C-alpha cells in the first residue's frame, strides 16, 4: 500500500489575515489560489520554501505531487467558526481508493463520504478527525458497492 500526505485544510474567517500570518509570520509561500464563485469560497494553498525546493517546483508549472501544503479555505459567507470547525481535514493520496475504503470498512470504520466518483472519500479517525482520501492518478471507474452508497454523518 502506498500513501502520500497532501495537505491539511483549515477554514479561515479572514483570508488576508490568515495568509499574512502563515506567509509573513511562519515563512510559508502561497503556491496556488482558486476562487469558486458557484460555491462562494476561495482556496489558498501554502507550502514551505524548503518543501517547494525539494519538490522542484518553479512556480510556473502544475504543482508537483508530493508537495505538502496547508489549504486555507475561506467561505465567503462565514467569518467565525466555533467548536473546532475551523480545522477541516488531513488529505492523503492512495493507490487504490476502493481498496483503502474496504480496508477501513473491515476495521469497523464508517465511510462517511463513499468514493462514488472513484476519486474521493472521507473517513474519520478514532479521535473524530476527518481524513480525505484521494485516488492517485485518474479516478477509478464508478463501482459498487461504492457508486450507490449514501453519505453517513459528516466529514
Q: Tell whether domain 3-75 is in CATH 3.10.180.10.
A: yes
Integer-rounded Cα Rg, in Å, for the chain is 17
Report whether 31 contacts 46 (CB < 8 A).
yes
Residue 80 has pLDDT above 70, yes or no: yes
User: pLDDT averaged over the chain?
Assistant: 90
The rounded percent of the chain whose pLDDT value lies above 70 is: 98
Interval 18-70: pLDDT, tens = 999 899 988 899 999 999 999 999 999 999 998 999 888 887 778 887 899 99
**Cell digits of residue 79:** 467569518
Burial of residue 50 (CB within 10 Å: 0-12, 13-18, 19+) is: exposed
Q: How far apart are CA 133 and CA 31, in angstroms?
A: 22
83: confidence class by pLDDT, cuts 50, 70, 90: low
Question: Would you give the distance in Å from CA 27 to the centre of its chain?
Answer: 21
Report whether 40 contacts 77 (CB < 8 A).
yes
Residue 85 has pLDDT above 90, yes or no: no
Give the 3-state secondary structure of residue 83: coil
Catalytic residue list contains 24: no
Please tell me the predicted confidence (pLDDT) of residue 26: 81
Query: What mean pLDDT comes out for the span 129-141?
Result: 92
Q: How far apart are CA 99 and CA 106, in angstroms?
A: 11
Query: What mean pLDDT comes out for the span 126-146?
Result: 90
Residue in 71, 78, 132, 138 annotated catalytic: 132
Please tell me the predicted confidence (pLDDT) of residue 44: 96
Amino acid at each position: 500500500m502506498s500513501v502520500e500526505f497532501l495537505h491539511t485544510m483549515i477554514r479561515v474567517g479572514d483570508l488576508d489575515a490568515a495568509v499574512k500570518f502563515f506567509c509573513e509570520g511562519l515563512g510559508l509561500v502561497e503556491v496556488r489560489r482558486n476562487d469558486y464563485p458557484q460555491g462562494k469560497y476561495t482556496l489558498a494553498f501554502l507550502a514551505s520554501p524548503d518543501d517547494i525546493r525539494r519538490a522542484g517546483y518553479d512556480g510556473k508549472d502544475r504543482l508537483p505531487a508530493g508537495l505538502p501544503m496547508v489549504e486555507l479555505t475561506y467561505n465567503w459567507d462565514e467569518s467565525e467558526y466555533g467548536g473546532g470547525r475551523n480545522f477541516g481535514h488531513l488529505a492523503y493520496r492512495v493507490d487504490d481508493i476502493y481498496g483503502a475504503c474496504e480496508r477501513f470498512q473491515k476495521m469497523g470504520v464508517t465511510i462517511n463520504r463513499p468514493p462514488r466518483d472513484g476519486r474521493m472519500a472521507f473517513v474519520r479517525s478514532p479521535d473524530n478527525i476527518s481524513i480525505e482520501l484521494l485516488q492517485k492518478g485518474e479516478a477509478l471507474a464508478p463501482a459498487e458497492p461504492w457508486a450507490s452508497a449514501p453519505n453517513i454523518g459528516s466529514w
